[in-house]
Structure 1
Amino acid sequence: MRIYKGDMFYADLTPVVGCEQGGIRPVLIIQNDIGNRYSPTVIVAAITSRTEKGHLPTHIRLCSQQYGLRQNSLVLLEQVRTIDRSRLHEYIGHLNDSQMQQVNEALAVSFGLDAPLQEPQMSLSL
């Protein structure tokens, strides 16, 4: 199965711990295409249909009609994980270039790639 950055699949994210997104749910492939071609794993972001969640700069809205999702949804780019390819099931669709640009910007926020590097603050207790 060929997988590309921007593809959406249903994936089984069980088991989970704490506040991780779980169950069989849509995910967005965010790994680069070289990794997608050669790696036995893929990096994904969870997608939720709970659009009433507080809108964060790491959330991207998806229209169900545009992408074949069951409901309008949010890509949660703060909920990123690496999974084995065998967890991927049914292909859903592929995000357009405009939405992928939003995804890239949200990933930069999520991983702190848009912030200047700072020296770590050391705390010395005596």
Structure 2
Amino acid sequence: MLTLLLVAFSLAHAPPATKTLTISDSGKTVTIAAHQKLRISLDECGSCGYRWETKVKPDPKVLTRGPQGHENAGCEPPCVGGSGTTIFRYTGKASGRTTLRLEYFGPGKSKPAKTFRLTVRVR
């Protein structure tokens, strides 16, 4: 009986599921809860010399950044060439509003080929 109560309590206080966004969500405002995870998945061609960079960091009092990751599309390691996905991970920290901007640069380029903008509200 105690085990069932503990499981019910932990489920009732678990943060909502991770919210995943893609390039099509650029320019939007999203709302997440404190402790909820936010995942931004952006396609890239790293082996071609392209890369996503954070140009406007979110307010760390509102949104904390986790480790950046990479996934290769349809390729079992070791992969050579081709495109993949860069994963930016964040977690809602405290109530507030913040923005972030990610830019996609080609090799040797100073102007971005793409820009991802987002406003995040943490409630």
The TM-score with structure 2 as length reference comes to 0.22
Report 1 or 2 for greater relative contact order, CA contacts < 8 Å, sequence distance ≥ 6.
2
> Counting strand residues as a fraction of each chain, which structure ranks higher?
2
Query: Given the two structures, how large is their TM-score scaled by the length of structure 1?
Result: 0.22
Between structures 1 and 2, the one with greater helix share: 1
Larger Cα Rg: Structure 1 or Structure 2? 2
